Structure 1
Amino acid sequence: MSPYPHKNYHEENPSTKLNSRPVFLVDTPTCKIPLFSPFDISIVQFLKPGKKISCNKFLPYTYEDGTILRVNWTAIHQSRHKDTFKHCRYQPIIRPYEAEHHNYFDYGDYSEKFYSYIEVPYEFVRVRCYNRANGKMYTNYHQFIYRKNDIEKVKSTAFEKHRAKVSETLNVLMVGVDSISRLNFQRYMRKTNAFLTNRLNAFDMMGYNKVADNTFVNIVPMTLGKFLEDVPWNESLSDIPFDNYNFIWKMFSDSGYRTLYAEDAPKIAIFDYLKAGFHKAPADYFNRHFSIAMTKDKQLWYNEHNCLVNRLETDVILNYTFQFASIMQKNPYFAFAFITGLTHDSTESAAMADESYFNYLKSLYEQHMLNNTLLIFYSDHGMRFGKLRETYIGKLEERLPFLFIVLPEWFRKKYPVISQSLQINERRLITPFDIYETLQNVLFFGTDQREQSSSRGISLFQEVSDERTCTEIGILPHWCTCAKNVPLPPEDIKNRDFGERIVTSINQILSTYVDCARLTLENVLSASKILPYDEILRFRKSKNDVINRKVTFGDKVNSFVHYQLIVQTSPGNGRFEATIKYDELHDSSKIASDISRINLYGNQSNCVNDHSIKKYCFCNM
């Protein structure tokens, strides 16, 4: 059951915003990123059915209600303990602002006994319930969001000063999901995809390209605006906490925004896996000690460590951010959440996450919690291992995670140039550096006050240049999904074959129009092939983030090659442009785009009234 209240209504399928049939996600003079179906015939053998997940092994004897912890008598009456239940007590889960180490947590004293409900003045608690023989019969973990008086006073003063300097303010809600490519999001998270597209009018950044290998090295550019080596950081600093780096949430905090930082899977968390994490809490609301405490209570977990008592670990984090956004709705806030466990290990596991994220986003929308909030919903990279990953499409997927940006409707109307830029940028080469610059743009809106960062990024509120290349923004060739455009010599044998295929397709379109002449190929005026970087086709793995960083290459995998041709036909000297998709493995090809007429046809097609046919038809005399 969803932890968020919402209405029930039917979701439409995502609708395309384009009338024509695109061949590329990004199609600029310097970058062409191929577009593939999520169910392309070359990879369907590696796709497994998505499954749902149910967390119903244990009944929840307790639940949160604001800052009150209640006994769930309905569940108890349905359980084997209905005649033996006695009372419950909770213990706060404690971590000081500055802890001894990043895994520190402790339990405080037990509360008084309660039989019905109790007010909880702590953020995180472990609750235990007992039977009449004083034996422990139930354990669970609960989280609460409440305003912290010491923080509120400081933040209110800081925000007053900040508000006087800027022309607009927005809350920021960043929700990251581990290891989901844009294609895999379309495959397995269809309800969430539909809701983002149809209800939230999200901007879908189709050319979002990761800049390095794993989560850590892609989140750092997003939150610090620099590559690791430019921070500077390397593996020799692994024992030093990240407390003193000026992350983007610190900048928002200094300007009076209430801040939240939340992750699941504490063992492999972004700044903690083989690293020292944070000794000082990075945000006003921070859940790591709670997450560690839950993880250590192994008997409460099941379904491959995805379910805790009666709920998904994913839902625990989403509910935490939801309650934070709800409480802080009328105050400026910055929330950063990253959720790993459920989707990290297989492509099809994304299906188990669909319902949770759909319910979460729908509740934010229906309770008007996005009315003054920038939502950035994203992944760090696609799946980095497995059979699918060994294919050409799988290699592209790993490098092309999903990224959606949602803005309030009033903001889009008030700043139409920003909306227009975002729409253009949906089909431009985009990186985590651009997210960092966008966040700075939001923080210092209408001012020139910006943190000095590299020139690798640009705010997505501005139009990204169609001349942008991977090289200029520091993406190494084996991460770059932009294909190379290679002109073909006129004598290339494929030119004539593909030219004939284009003309045959035009004649098939005209086959029912008896007044239109049958066309023949007169000449191939130009041809080029669009090739992926050889480093992508041969890439196997990357080891180490900075020191002794090593990239291993292997045999080249078969790929798809796109050929772009301009042909001239007879009679009428019509000139047409089309793209052919060639499958190297099966030596097969097909037209992958609409066929465009690129010269005027004047009165040549007066014998037909169908506008879509006029560009092809040369009327018989």
Structure 2
Amino acid sequence: MVGLLHSHTLKRRQSICRSRTIVMSFIANSRIPRRCTNAALTLFTVIFTLVLIIQDGNLLFDEPGRTAQSLKNHLMLNWSEPPIIFAKGAPVCKVPQFHPLDKEIWPYYRAPPSEIHCKRRQEPMSYMHLETSELEISSRAYLYSCFAEDLLRDGDNGVKFVELRPLFVGRTYLEQRTGVQAIRVTCYNVLKILTYSHIHLVAPKLAPKKIANALGAAPKKRRNVFIFGIDSLSRLAALRMLPLTYKYLVNNLSASVLRSHHKIGDNTFPNLLTILSGNRKKHPNDIHSSQETHMCDKWPLIWKRYAKEGYETFYGEDYPKFATFNYLLNGFINQPTDHYLRPFWLAVESSMVLRSSSLLCYGITPKYKLQLDYLRYFLRRNSTDPYFVFSFLVEISHDYQEYVGAADQDIVSMLELLREQVLSGETLLIVLSDHGHRFDPIRRTRQGHVEERLPLLAIATGDSSQRTTLAYNSNMLTSHYDTYEVLRSLLPARSRPEQTEFGINILDNLVPSNRTCSQAGIPDLYCTCTSQEDAGGFDEGMAIDLAQRAVGFINSMLQKDYISSSACSRLSLKKIASMFLIGYEKVLSLETSPGNALFELRFRDWNDQLEEPMFSRINRYGEPCIRSQTLRKYCYCGR
């Protein structure tokens, strides 16, 4: 192991040895009894070794970037990965199994921060008490003139502020208003200069018709549905970044975490659309090409079915720029759910406060906490109506995967509020992601290639029979179509939509051991099932030839499109980044210039005809200059 240590670690060890020599010399020249010498040296060595371990996690990890936090995470992971046992025979699909901190990913792994630090740019002067609908103005504002304005939705991509009214030091009760999900507080000094501004979430007043429906539609108690999603998070990444959350789900909520759960599309949109609507397209990545200019109001999103059954509905994403139904789409004409956080987040994103805030912060508060705080309020309310919640955190994991670890304890705190509801059978809890990380450096490894296709899915139910079924299915091949079938199954028969071609209700039905990716609706490109077939080897000459052919294919796609042909640069092969085998398929990663784009090509035979679905972009790209969902990942803007 010494031979593997980095030079700075060796220097620290050498320092300990020199210090030990000095201590030995001191002891030899002193009058310390010989019987104490060995004990003193042993104690000295133990203390300095512990100091070395604490100060430098590299001692045990032997790779750059390892920290004491990495070691802590590594030790916490040991409990969570029991061996897979197949009670009724092994499935045909065998997904490769990796340790969450396999040595292959050490050079790329960044330990999550303990918290997100938000610099104080202005003194807080207002506080919203959601439980009592009271807005509190701090005593430090007594020399200022403060006002409140209601924030209203103005289409799905705009907001407007209405009804300016004065505020005074102390608490003011805010009457709930229909369509008002947030308010803005502003304070001015004696010179009428704006000195303070903050936007607060508030609880909206449900429309009278909605309340009447809710009270009359469902006399029988219905099970709540609470879906908590995090963007770009594989199951193994959840183990690395959210060990407390993972542990709480399994140990305290008896959740089953599905270990062979697959995505069915490239990015967020096709995957979430499948979860929420059972999208029946065989190639869900293509949906933008036919519905790009349409609004989403007529789409068969399942929360509509729950709303008709008297459920109070919630939908919130914290990153409006990349919102599922607004990124390359036009969103909704009408507000889609009772609680809808998009107007709030649009106002936050365009505020002066955000422009002066730290990364991932709004003022002194991490942005993810704003959504979690509202969810905590939602769960504490004394509401008699059943609810359907779909909350999706995006920003904290979309661009910087390690930052999601800062939310670990806060997520656990929210889950603690759900524990009694879940274990009593009152609420079904689903914690999920759309896909693994597509652009993190780990994606360049074999493990990252597999992880990107295996998003997190954990389901907790209070029904013992369903727990048994889920435990069995946790080792079977599943997809987002199955998640939709779970949501469909909880509806009464009169509101239940037609079953999908690919999905299985994994709460109540066992997944067949002979299930294939095709049967689960998983395109070949995203299928990680391995086979005993020989994939053959890599011939360097053939690899270069294929890489050149791949770049030519990309250029031809760009050239055939009128807009991209004039907006995008012609690419050339810079280098082959990596080559590896997965089951019976070969994976070739290549880098192009200009732009240093990394593409991954998955194929079976050197002479395979190239098709667009065989390609994946595996590093980040900037703001697009073309609208095409298919071509934008290949385009380097500028001729």
SS at the partner of 1:399?
coil
Amino acid at match of 2:97: L
Distance between the aligned counterparts of 1:358 and 1:450, measured in 2?
A: 32
Which residue of the partner structure matches residue 569 of structure 1?
A: none
Q: Is the 8 A contact 1:201 1:406 kept in 2?
A: yes
Report 1:532-571 matches (<5 A): 532-534=583-585, 550-553=612-615
Q: In the superposition, relative to structure 1, how do residues 450 and 536 fare at CA in structure 2: closer, same or farther (>3 Å)? A: farther
Instruction: String of CA shifts for 1:462-482, please: whole Å, max 9, x gaps.
Output: 211111110222312220111
The verdict on how the C-alpha distance between 1:23 and 1:386 changes in structure 2, with shifts beyond 3 A counting, is farther
**Aligned with residue 153 of structure 1, among 199, 204, 212:** 212
Report the alpha carbon displacement of residue 35 of structure 1 after superposing the two structures with TM.
1.4
TM-aligned CA deviation for residue 436 of structure 1:
0.6
CA contact (8 A) 1:470 1:476 kept: yes
Once residues 149 and 119 of structure 1 are traced to their aligned partners in structure 2, the CA distance between those partners, rounded to angstroms, is 20
Amino acid at match of 1:438: V
Q: 1:535 to 1:316 in 2, by over 3 A?
A: farther
- The structural deviation recorded for 1:147 is 4.5
Partner Cα separation in structure 1 for residue 371 and residue 525 of structure 2: 34
Which of 228, 237, 244 in structure 2 is aligned with 1:184? Answer: 237
* Offset at residue 339 of structure 1 (A): 1.2
In the alignment, what sits opposite 2:445?
Answer: 391
Q: Structure 1-normalised TM-score? A: 0.70
Q: 2:529 aligns with which of 482, 489, 510?
A: 482
Is 1:55 the equivalent of 2:118?
yes
Structure 1 match to 2:418: 364
The question of 1:436 aligning with 2:484 is answered: yes
> Which one of the candidate residues 454, 466, 470 is aligned to 2:517?
470
Supply the distance in 1 between the matched residues of 2:307 and 2:495 (Cα, whole angstroms). Answer: 16
Contact map agreement 1:26 1:207 (CA 8 A) in 2: no
Structural mapping, 1:370-519, within 5 Å: 372-408=426-462, 412-413=463-464, 416=465, 418-444=466-492, 447=493, 450-461=496-507, 462-486=509-533
- Rate the CA distance shift 1:221–1:367 in 2: closer, same or farther, 3 A: closer
Structure richer in helix, relative to its length: 2
Query: Distance in 2 between the 1:398 and 1:24 partners?
Result: 25
Say whether the 8 Å CA contact 2:138–2:169 is kept in structure 1: no
The equivalent residue for 2:146 is: 88
Equivalent position amino acid for 1:463 in 2: L
SS at match of 1:396: helix
**Aligned counterparts of 2:123 and 2:87: Cα–Cα separation in 1:** 47
Q: Distance in 1 between matches of 2:218 and 2:421?
A: 25
Q: Given that residues 87 and 130 in structure 1 are in contact (C-alpha distance below 8 angstroms), is that contact kept between their aligned partners in structure 2?
A: yes
Partner of 2:43: none
Q: Tell me, what secondary structure is at the counterpart of 1:32?
A: coil
What is the distance in 2 between the residues matched to 1:27 and 1:401? 24
Q: CA deviation at 1:328?
A: 5.9
CA contact 2:258–2:458 (8 Å) conserved in 1: yes
Measured after TM superposition, the shift of residue 537 of structure 1 is: 6.1
SS of residue in 2 equivalent to 1:201: coil
Structure 1 position 210 matched with structure 2 position 263: yes
Question: Which letter maps to 2:266?
Answer: D
- The Cα of 1:386 is off from its aligned counterpart by 3.6
> Once the 2 structures are TM-superposed, how far is the Cα of residue 308 of structure 1 from its aligned partner?
0.5
SS at match of 1:226: coil
Q: Within 2, Cα distance between the matches of 1:105 and 1:186?
A: 38
Q: Give the secondary structure class of the aligned counterpart of 2:428.
A: strand
- Secondary structure of the residue aligned to 1:85 is coil
Give the letter for the 1:47 counterpart: Y
Rounded Cα–Cα distance in structure 1 between residues aligned with 2:165 and 2:281 = 45
Superposed displacement of residue 354, structure 1: 1.7
Residue from 77, 80, 105 that aligns with 1:43: 105
1:348: Cα distance to partner?
1.7
The letter for the 2-side match of 1:472 is: Q
1:300 deviates by: 3.1
CA offset digits 1:49-103 (Å, max 9, x no partner)? 2223123524432111131111234xx4xxxx7xx633421100012xxx5x421
Indicate the residue corresponding to 1:573 in structure 2.
Answer: none
Structure 2 equivalent of residue 126 of structure 1: 184
RMSD between aligned residues: 3.3
> Is the alpha carbon distance of 1:177 and 1:448 closer, same or farther for their aligned partners in structure 2, counting shifts above 3 Å?
same
Aligned-partner residue type, residue 125 of structure 1: I
Aligned residue type for 2:374:
Y
Which range moved further: 115-124 or 196-205? Answer: 115-124
User: How many Å apart are 1:374 and its aligned residue?
Assistant: 0.8
Cα distance in 1 for partners of 2:94, 2:243 equals 26
Contact 1:480 1:533 in 2 (8 A): no
2:504 is aligned with what amino acid? I
Match of 2:11 in 1: none
Partner amino acid, structure 2, of 1:286: Y
Q: What does 1:308-387 correspond to in 2, within 5 Å?
A: 308-327=362-381, 329-365=383-419, 372-387=426-441
Aligned partners of 1:230, 1:36: CA distance in 2, in Å? 28
Task: Provide the C-alpha distance between the structure 1 equivalents of 2:377 and 2:616, rounded to a whole number of angstroms.
Answer: 48
- TM-score, normalization: structure 2? 0.68
CA gap 1:222/1:474 in 2 versus in 1, 3 angstroms? same
Compute the displacement of 1:335 (Å).
Answer: 1.0
Structure 2 residues not aligned, in runs of 5+: 1-72, 536-580, 591-597, 602-609, 618-639
Deviations 1:361-417 (A, max 9, x none): 234337989861111111111110143111110001101111111223xxx24xx2x
2:600–2:615 contact (8 Å) kept in structure 1: no
Change in 2 beyond 3 A, CA 1:554/1:112: closer
1:296 CA displacement: 0.2
Q: Partner of 2:160 in structure 1?
A: 106
Q: Output the amino acid matched with 2:410.
A: S
- Alpha-carbon separation, structure 1, partners of 2:143 and 2:307: 45
Q: Which residue number corresponds to residue 18 of structure 2?
A: none
Of 135, 159, 167, 1:69 maps to: 135
User: Is residue 13–residue 194 contact of structure 1 (8 Å, CA) maintained in 2?
Assistant: no
What displacement does 1:45 show?
0.9
Amino acid of the residue matched to residue 179 of structure 1? S
The one-letter code of the counterpart of 1:469 is T
Which residue among 259, 283, 298 is the counterpart of 1:244? 298
Asked if 2 retains the 8 angstrom alpha-carbon contact of 1:470 and 1:477, the reply is yes
Q: 1:533: Cα distance to partner?
A: 4.6
Q: Supply the AA of the counterpart residue of 1:140.
A: H
Alpha-carbon distance between aligned partners in 2 of 1:18 and 1:350, rounded to the nearest angstrom: 21
Measured in 2, the distance between the counterparts of 1:216 and 1:469 equals: 23
**Contact 2:119/2:357, CA 8 A, preserved across alignment:** no
Cα gap change, 1:223 to 1:419, in 2 (>3 Å): same
- SS of residue paired to 1:357: helix
The percent identity for this pair of structures is: 28
Equivalent residues in 2 for 1:225-264 (5 A)? 225-228=278-281, 233-264=287-318
**What is the total number of aligned residue pairs between the two structures?**
474
Q: CA deviation at 1:303?
A: 6.1
Name the SS for the 2:94 alignment partner.
strand
Cα distance between partner residues in 1 of 2:442 and 2:182: 40
2: CA distance, partners of 1:280 / 1:252: 17
Amino acid at match of 1:127: V
